[in-house]
Amino acid sequence: MDFLLFVVNIFWFIASSYVANGFPPVMKGKKPIDFGRNLRNHRILGNSKTIEGTIGGIIAGLAVGSLQVLYQDMIPLQLYHMTFPLIIALVLGTMAGDIAGSFIKRRFGLNSGDSAVIMDQLGFLVAAFLFASVVETLDPYILIALLLATPPIHLFTNYIGCYMMKVKKNPW
C-alpha cells in the first residue's frame, strides 16, 4: 500500500506539468514563438514551438492544477499538498524547459522533430523542478522517481497520443 500511495503521489505532484507539456501539439498552432527568425543560420526555436501551443499548454496545466488545489481535500488519501504558487511554478517551468530544450537543440543543428533523448524527455521536467523549488522545498524521492519514470512515460504517451493519432510526425 505504501508503494502504491507513493506512485499516486508522484503522478499527483506532476499532473499539471505533464498536461502542460503534452497539450501544445494538440493545439496545432501556426504562429511560431520565434516568428521564423534565425540565429547563426539556424532557427531560434523552430515551427513546433508556437504561441498557440504555449498558451494552450499553460492554460491546460493551470486548469488541471487548479482542480487539484480546489478538490484535494475531498480525496481520502494523504497526497502531496498542492498550492496555486506551486502549480504556477510547475506549469511555467515546464513550458520554459520545453522552449529552452528547443533552443539548445537548434544550437546543435537539430531540426524540429529531431530526437534528442535527454532534452526531449527530461528538459521540461528539470525546469519544472527548478521553478517549483523556488516556491517550496521538494521531496527528493518524488524528484528521483520522476526522473526515472518520465522518459518511458513520455515516449509511450507521445507514441500513443501524438504519433498514432497523427498529431505529431515523430513518435518522440
* 163 confidence band (pLDDT: 50, 70, 90): low
25, pLDDT greater than 90: no
Identity of residue 170: N
Residues near 98 by Cβ (< 8 Å), separated by ≥ 6?
21, 24, 49, 57, 123, 124, 127
* 165 confidence band (pLDDT: 50, 70, 90): low
What's the CA angle centered on 164, arms 168 and 98, to 5 degrees?
35
Residue ranges with strand state E in 16-108 = 38-39, 42-43
Q: Is 59 left (phi over 0), alpha (psi -120 to 50) or beta?
A: alpha
85, 119 contact by CB (below 8 A): no
What's the CA angle centered on 58, arms 67 and 120, to 5 degrees?
115
2 or 118, which is more confident: 2
What was the pLDDT predicted at 168? 61
18, 154 contact by CB (below 8 A): no
| Residue whose grid cell is 528547443 | 102
155 or 36, which is more confident: 36
* 42 confidence band (pLDDT: 50, 70, 90): confident
